[in-house]
Chain A
Amino acid sequence: MDTTTVTFTLNGTTTALAVSPLTTLRTALRENLHLSATKAGCSQGGCGSCTVLVDGEPTLSCLLPLALIEGQEVTTLEGLSTRGGLHPLQEAFYDRFAAQCGYCTPGMIMAAKALLDRNAQPTREEIREALVGNLCRCTGYLPILEAVEDAARRLSQ
């Protein structure tokens, strides 16, 4: 089988993977690297559960062939906590019951991180717009919006 070797930075570490040509970033994360935080809700780009950051930009990993991010930086939920501690977004989601089944949670947190990295004091409306590409079937969204507001407050302290 044809393989291609792709070298990229993953959560701060240089990583090289040999994959078949069109293997997506999501498949590489979940199946080659066994980093299962990034989810596989639809493979259509419609649900946002596969959201990761590529060079800091929110990206749908289910639609992105790994080979196309040679040399770029990928951040997943696994890369968010530092030295075993939780990122304020993770703390806020936990404290505010912003997760029920948990399936949308990684994508939501990564989309929220992309927002807070650019806009440290987002309004409710800006949070809503930043998360509009992430679907949740359990919470009704309100606890998630509140968690992101909470995280923004924590980060500013």
Chain B
Amino acid sequence: MKQLGIVGQSVKRRDGLGHVTGQTQYVDDVFYPGMLWLRMVRSPVARGAIRRIDTARAEALPGVVAIVSAGDVPNNWYTILGLIGVGPPDEPVLAHEEVMYQGEPICAVVAETEDIANEATSLVKLDIEELEPVLDVEYALNAEAPVIKKWGSNTFIYDGMNHRRLRFGDVDAALKQADFVVDGTYRLSPIEHVPLETHCCVVKPEPDGRLTVHTNTQALYFSMDNTAIILQCPSNQLRFLGGTVGGGFGGKVDVITEPVTCIAALKTRRPVKWRWTRREEFQNSSTRAGVKMEYRDGVMRDGRIIARKVRSLQDAGAYHRHSPYGAQKHMANVGGPYSIPNVWADVYCVYTNRQPSSAMRGFGVMEASFAIEVQMEKIARTIGMDSWELRMINAYRNGQMRPVRKVVEDAALVETLQAAAELAGHELPAHLRAMHSNDTGEQTGNHAYGGGGSRL
């Protein structure tokens, strides 16, 4: 074994000394002479048609320098996954005709101090005709629900269909053959990341016409490219500076501060800072998607799960952001790390008039894992089998075909469970200790090889 220099060593954090001395720089630590402050006016209602935005009283407040609204945005669409072909563009950078969630940004006030900007936002008069919102994923699919997306559906359209499909084997036939059918419905509320540092962006216009952008995004190039698309400028006009993010967890991957702050800087020809309040971070920043998951598993007496039928509704909130991708990942993972020869999944990316959800720590997958593992417990109790045994019988093995049509390589779940049992002081019976990731179907009484066959 080669002697390695760093792998296997305990290495102190490069930024550790900065953190413990308070010298680490965060975006809110950036100040420029003459810097202005931006605060956002946001929709008070979940859904509505904008009739009029009256900024006269706000503009009259001494110290207010500019208002930034939809008309100031060169290309008023934010579609982060547009870069990988997801569409159509659905999220305005600043709302103009309608509002689709409570807290949606409508217009920004830029002023000499943050306090003045804040007070000015309360002076903007919004005339919004409230419309019936869709606030629940099941209701969104109901024929009676208002259709809130402009393509005529409350779901993302995947290849002409209103859901993502996974079809592997013959699930209905397998369910009929199963000794037990175990149903479970699992719901997850949206979860907010609560990074200690809120979103923050500082933009300084440079004499050569470029913009220097300090941002605590987790995705510097995504942010720069999307900002360039929104500003309709070549990306070499932008100089994006990232650095230490005071907690992201997926909550700082949307391009949610840079474009408007850039426009404010261009409009005023002065540096501008926009820092979010904790309230905005909780109520307006993206969250993990809420989701409703329905699982139906067909199980044999000997513990083999031979069928899984899933219907899952992901709550994307008002706009795409990363949800069409999250829903797709979710679909790919409904089998879990188990070998199930017949799988059917319908996964819907549903739009509601709620805070848009986006990325968070394994989004799409973690939700599936939660449902799957609780479902495994339900199965174990239903058929009267030990939990460890149930998992180890069904754990995927090398060479098996997964529902997403990929052959398993480098499987290690069996070995991981064995190691976990030892660490937990749980003694596994001999036949479970004898299992390994390369054992064949005959030994475990398990699973399909090659194409998606149904082994009953």
Contact = CB atoms under 8 A, between A and B. Distances in A.
Contacts of A41: 196-198, 278
Nearest to B251: A137
B150 interface: no
A106 to B, nearest CB: 5
A103 interface: yes
Given A36-B22, A136-B196, A103 B246 contact: yes
A137 B278 contact: no
Binding site secondary structure of chain A: loop
Nearest to A78: B22
Given A104-B196, A135-B196, A137-B247, 19 more contacts: A37-B22, A38-B22, A41-B196, A44-B278, A77-B21, A86-B20, A91-B20, A93-B16, A93-B20, A94-B13, A94-B20, A95-B12, A99-B16, A101-B197, A102-B18, A102-B19, A103-B246, A137-B195, A137-B196
A124 to B, nearest CB: 21
B245 interface: yes
Contact of B20 (A34, A90, A100, A137): A90
25 contacts: A30-B28, A31-B31, A36-B29, A37-B21, A37-B22, A39-B246, A40-B275, A41-B196, A46-B278, A49-B196, A76-B22, A77-B21, A77-B22, A78-B21, A90-B21, A94-B17, A94-B20, A97-B12, A101-B196, A102-B19, A103-B26, A109-B20, A135-B194, A137-B193, A137-B195
B449 to A, nearest CB: 42
Interface of A: 30-31, 34-44, 46-47, 49, 76-78, 81, 86, 89-91, 93-95, 97, 99-106, 109, 135-138
Contacts of B195: 101, 103, 137
Interface of B: 12-13, 15-26, 28-29, 31, 193-198, 244-249, 275, 277-278
B13 A99 contact: yes
Contacts of A49: 196
Contacts of B278: 41-44, 46-47
